[in-house]
């Protein structure tokens, strides 16, 4: 029967579309420029600490900065802490804001929809590609940090926040957990960017609004007078990955963060569906 054949061939179309979307995303010079800029952050930090004669005093600057000279594995952690408030949301905002609006402004959106893909599948594929970029961006910082740290500083057992010490192997595992935490943290922002991207044909506008929202959310999160609002802000748990660096690991913030991000994804994916499926595609 033709209908069942169609059903069976659907996933294939979806995967093919995702593969082509990913290859387009990761063949763009802009994507690589952003990943390289992110990787440069821990490298600059490591070079600055290596070249300066004085060790950073404890308790000043980003957390763990004073530990770098004793253990290079902390470079990745410091890099992630520095990147989480602005640089990572910036790059994620660019990618997520570009998803639909970029195709619309390039005039390619209608050709994508002529193919038997359907608008829902296109949205899903675009969102999946943005999520893949979240993971890639976080890994760029973490891996570059670990590499430059191992190259420039001694490497040894890692001290956790609780004062307990873990082996190098386990610390790499924890670094991956932290990277996973931050990737999850950025998914909600990707969904917001996807929705904003369906509202406009001007990709720069969608990118800028997404990034502005990330900053506004963090500003609201820092005001104690608005503490009733804080658990609802998508940036509320962004720096909560410190809980993964305790002994024993506290999974509470990981779970809360995942639930919060999932809620944001559901709401904004549904909004994006509402907008995109009822939109007149003119370009």
- Whose Cβ is closer to another protein: residue 22's or residue 271's? 271
Q: Which two tokens stand for residue 154?
A: 């001694």
66/98 with CB nearer another protein: 66
Q: Which is nearer to another protein, 70 or 200 (by Cβ)?
A: 70
Of the two residues 107 and 157, which places its CB atom closer to another protein in the complex? 157
Site for another protein, rule CB under 8 A: 58-64, 66-67, 70, 81-82, 84-85, 156-157, 159, 161-165, 222-225, 239, 242-243, 246, 248, 250, 252, 263, 266-267, 270-271, 273-275, 277-278
| Euclidean distance between CA atoms 245 and 226, whole angstroms | 28
Q: How far apart are CA 217 and CA 253, in angstroms?
A: 18
Minimum Å gap between C-beta 256 and another protein is 12
Is the Cβ–Cβ distance between 197 and 104 less than 8 Å?
Answer: no
What residue has token string 């404890």? 58
- Number of neighbours of residue 272 by Cβ within 10 angstroms: 26
Which stretches of 87-241 are DSSP H helices?
A: 87-106, 109-114, 119-152, 168-199, 203-221
CB of 90 to another protein, least distance (A): 15
- Nearer to another protein by C-beta: 132 or 191? 191
Count, in order, helices (H) and strands (E) of the chain: 9, 2
Compute the least distance from the CB of residue 15 to another protein, in Å: 24
CB of 14 to another protein, least distance (A): 19
DSSP code for 279: S
**What is the closest distance, in whole angstroms, from the C-beta atom of residue 33 to another protein in the complex?**
24
């Amino acid at each position: 029967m033709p209908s069942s054949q169609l059903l069976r061939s659907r996933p294939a179309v979806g995967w093919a579309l995702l593969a082509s979307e990913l290859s387009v995303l990761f063949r763009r010079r802009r994507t690589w420029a952003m990943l390289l800029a992110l990787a440069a952050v821990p490298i600059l930090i490591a070079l600055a600490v290596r070249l300066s004669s004085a060790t950073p005093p404890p308790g000043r600057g980003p957390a763990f900065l004073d530990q770098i000279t004793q253990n290079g594995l902390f470079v990745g952690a410091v890099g992630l802490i520095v990147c989480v408030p602005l640089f990572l949301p910036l790059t994620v905002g660019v990618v997520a804001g570009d998803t639909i609006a970029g195709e619309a402004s390039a005039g390619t959106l209608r050709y994508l929809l002529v193919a038997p893909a359907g608008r829902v599948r296109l949205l899903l594929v675009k969102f999946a590609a943005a999520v893949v970029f979240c993971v890639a961006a976080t890994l760029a910082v973490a891996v570059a940090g670990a590499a430059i740290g191992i190259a420039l500083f001694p490497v040894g057992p890692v001290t956790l926040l609780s004062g307990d010490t873990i082996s190098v192997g386990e610390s790499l595992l924890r670094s991956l957990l932290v990277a996973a935490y931050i990737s999850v943290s950025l998914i909600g922002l990707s969904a917001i960017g996807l929705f904003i991207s369906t509202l406009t044909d001007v990709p720069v506008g969608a990118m800028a609004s997404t990034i502005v929202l990330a900053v506004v959310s963090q500003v609201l999160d820092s005001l104690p007078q608005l503490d009733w609002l804080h658990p609802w802000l998508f940036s509320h748990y962004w720096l909560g990955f410190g809980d993964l660096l305790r002994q024993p690991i506290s999974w509470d913030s990981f779970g809360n963060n995942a639930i919060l991000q999932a809620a944001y994804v559901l709401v904004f994916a549904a909004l994006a569906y509402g907008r995109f499926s009822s939109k007149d595609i003119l370009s």
